[in-house]
Amino acid sequence: RSLYTIKFEEESRTMSVKDVVFVLAVSLLLGVADAASDFSFVDNRMRKSDGKTLSLLLYKGGTVCDDYFTIYAANTICRDLGFTKAKEYKSAGNWSGYQGAYSIKLDDVVCGPGWDWSKCRYTETSDCRHEEDILLSCAGTDLFKLVDGNGNPATGNDLSLLLYKGGTVCDDYFTDITADTICREMGFSKKKEWRMTGGYQTFRPMQDGLEKKLDNVRCNSPGMKFEDCTYNDGHSNDCSHSEDVLLSCEN
């Protein structure tokens, strides 16, 4: 082990329960991002936000400047956070007196249509003021996600692999009504197309590494919400990955 690791462990053992609670509280207040993304949200009192209403966007714990920021960047960041697309974005102005507590960590963000975050261009230095901080809200559930053959978030416009809680969805009892319901759950208006994977090889290498998480989905009435459908939630033992659902949606 490194000297740094040993030193850290020695210092950690001296922390009281009160110290640990304080560290956790500060992390929550600052809206520390989940491990899966460098982005997170806080509200106008700097408390962690779910991003479903207009909130201050943070990148690595600092704010994001609006220079070159477009709906494409907003959509990409929302997908990176597990949503389907952006609902609204704007410059903060004098939105909160707490913004000055943060450094401005991201600037000059340029993304194209359908890009994942790894393709975007940006700088991590800034000449902005906090009035230019980005406020953002996202639409669509983080329960379902559409991904491409590399596992990257998809726009939903083309047939993509449907994931539920990070696993695949079996086509047993899956219908057009179910497809419409799930598309609405992700923030779209309706389904464009769906099919079982079958011999479709684009997603095969990735599918083999995923659990089958949702089966026997029955949504019987047009317009119903997913919470009113019936389904088996968890590992499915009677489906193969050739029965995984591919789905595309439209606005």
Q: pLDDT at position 209, please?
A: 87
pLDDT tens for 36-83 read 689 999 999 999 999 989 999 999 999 999 999 999 999 999 989 988
CA 38, 39, 45, 51 torsion-angle sign: negative
| pTM, two decimal places | 0.58
168-200 pLDDT, tens digit each: 999 999 999 999 999 998 888 999 999 999 877
Tokens linked to 241:
């990955």
**CA distances in angstroms from 149 to 75, 146, 153, 158, 200, listed in the order given:** 19, 10, 10, 12, 11
| CA–CA separation, 95 and 57 (whole Å) | 12
Paired with 89 in beta bridges are 136
pLDDT, one tens digit per residue, over 116-160 is 899 999 999 999 999 999 999 998 776 899 999 888 888 888 999
For residue 221, pLDDT beyond 90:
yes
pLDDT band at 235 (very low <50, low <70, confident <90, very high): low
Q: Is the pLDDT of residue 26 over 70?
A: no
Q: Tell me what pLDDT residue 19 has.
A: 45
Q: Which two tokens stand for residue 29?
A: 């207040």
Give which of 192, 204, 193 is closest to 149, Cα–Cα.
Answer: 204
